Amino acid sequence: MITPGDQTAAAEHTVDVRVEDLAFATADAIAWPVTDELRATTPLLRRLETAGGARLRQQLTSHDALPVGSAVVTGAGDLSVELLVSAVISSATEPVSEGGVRRALLSALQRAGDWQIEHLACAPFGLGAGNLGLEESADLMAAVIAPHAARARFPSRITIIVESAVEHDVFSAALARAER
């Protein structure tokens, strides 16, 4: 059972990238970028929202607007994972930015640690029309994930789920650079 707890002692960590449908990812939880009203930020993430069904929609609409950079853990509805970590990357008054994405991803990793989530599947943060570019998102995520993995016990495995071979190569290269 996943419960909040201590996340201080670093363990061996694995970070990998897979081309897969996020809605069917095998993990303990999924971290995904959302608006301040916990809404999907891209058509791909709207598919995840839809796959979660009515239970997920109900949980996501039961929250007040959250500040950019925050994250909240809820049940995952009908998804194949137990929990969903929603990380706020934008609002009506604050568009997607490197700083907002960085804070949101760090908050998502901290919430995953609080809940002792062993395996976290993670969508790319900040992508979408008018948002961050692919390389910018990959470099930013790698720069946040690498130091977190070096000092935190949870999550011990992070899988970044991407849509294409090109995204796979870009995220893999960014992670390799960050681990040096």
- The domain in which residue 115 lies consists of 14-178
Range with the poorest average pLDDT among 4-13, 44-53, 79-88, 130-139:
4-13
For residues 71 and 132, what is the distance between their CA atoms, to the nearest angstrom?
A: 19
Task: With 0.85 as the threshold, say if the pTM is over it.
Answer: yes
The answer to whether residue 158 is domain-embedded is: yes
- Cβ neighbours of residue 143 closer than 8 Å, sequence gap 6 or more: 102, 178
pLDDT at residue 62 in the model: 66
Rounded mean pLDDT of the chain?
90
The number of folded domains in the chain is 1
Tell me: pLDDT of 103 over 80.
yes
Cα 154–Cα 166–Cα 148 angle in degrees, nearest 5? 20
Q: Which two tokens stand for residue 51?
A: 């796959």
Alpha carbons 132 and 5: distance in angstroms, whole number = 33
Q: Report the CATH number that the domain containing residue 119 is assigned in CATH.
A: 3.40.220.10
Whether 7 maps to a domain, the answer reads no
Q: Is residue 19 part of a domain?
A: yes
Q: What is the pLDDT of residues 53-85, one digit of tens each?
A: 898 888 888 678 899 999 999 999 999 999 999
Q: State the CB neighbour count (10 A cutoff) for residue 63.
A: 13
**CA atoms in the 13 A half-sphere facing the CB of 113:** 21
Nearest to 155 by CA among 179, 103, 120: 120
pLDDT, position 7: 45
Residue the block writes with tokens 């943060």 = 125
> What gap in Å lies between CA 3 and CA 165, rounded to an integer?
35
Token pair 């995520």 is at which residue? Answer: 141
Is 6 domain-assigned?
no
Q: Residue 112's pLDDT is what?
A: 97
**5: pLDDT strictly greater than 80:** no
Confidence of residue 12 (pLDDT cuts 50, 70, 90): confident
